[in-house]
Amino acid sequence: MGFRHNTVLHGNHFRKDWQRRVRTWFNQPGRKLRRRNARKTKAAALGVRPLAPLRPAVRGQTVRYNMKLREGRGFTLAELKEAGIGRKEARGVGIVVDHRRRNLSEEGKALNVQRLQAYKERLIVFPKNSKKPKKGDSTGDDLKAPTTRATLTLPSPYQPESPRQITEEEREFEAYKTLREVRSLYRHEGRRKANAAKKEEEEAAKKK
């Protein structure tokens, strides 16, 4: 190691007890087994209830991920209302509710309503007292039906379409131009209304 100029001499300490400061990961297999046993214990404690609560199918954020479907936080109040399920009732039967989420498309809303209805059809609510079942409890042959603890799978985000010929109307359609025109109309809508109102006032003033 060479030295130049009038600088401080190095005082490197290479004989430290570094082995005491090394983090090891020898307990990884044991931790793995412990987590697995904890999951089994939790699943057994749930009885016949689903292993995970029902969550909505939502699109990923941004243009990069919005073609993918994933599980969201909870169902909107509008989705629950359309499916005929109350807010408090939903929480009692394993459906997660998110009062902050809003539906931005009819397709997304319809998909989640369909998901709720499918869950409702498969749902079996065991009464606390079999002799006095409450409103909403399952009765008769429903209680003897085979049960599954698996949650509803997410639908496929892709709609398969068979190949076909491009129509003349599709060939003539200018997508970019149409988008720019609609964007321009939306942006200048306020100014256009203000100009129209001003013109009407001027015409009314001329008539007087």
Q: Is residue 52 part of a domain?
A: yes
Q: Is residue 42 part of a domain?
A: yes
Q: What is the pTM assigned to this prediction?
A: 0.62
3 state SS of 75: strand
Comparing C-alpha atoms, which of 76, 70, 75, 36 is closest to residue 53?
A: 75
Comparing C-alpha atoms, which of 95, 52, 57, 60 is closest to residue 77?
A: 95
Task: Please report, in tens digits, the pLDDT of each residue of the chain (208 residues total).
Answer: 567 888 888 888 777 888 888 888 999 999 999 999 999 998 888 878 888 899 999 999 999 999 999 999 999 999 999 999 999 999 888 899 999 999 999 999 999 999 999 998 888 777 777 767 777 677 766 676 777 778 889 988 888 889 999 999 999 999 999 999 999 999 999 999 999 999 999 998 888 7
Which pair of structure tokens corresponds to residue 175? 């997508």
Facing residues of 70 across strands?
58
Q: Is residue 111 part of a domain?
A: yes
Q: Is residue 25 part of a domain?
A: no
CA distances from 72 to 61, 84, 97, 100 (A): 11, 20, 10, 12
Q: Is residue 86 part of a domain?
A: yes
The residues, ordered by sequence, that sit 6+ positions from 123 with a Cβ below 8 Å of its Cβ are: 93, 138
Q: Is residue 137 part of a domain?
A: yes
Domain count across the chain: 1
Q: Is residue 83 part of a domain?
A: yes
Structural domain harbouring 76: 31-144
Q: Residues for the chain: how many in total?
A: 208
Q: Is residue 69 part of a domain?
A: yes
pLDDT of residue 137: 73
Rounded Cα–Cα distance for residues 56 and 77 (Å): 12
pLDDT of residue 103: 95
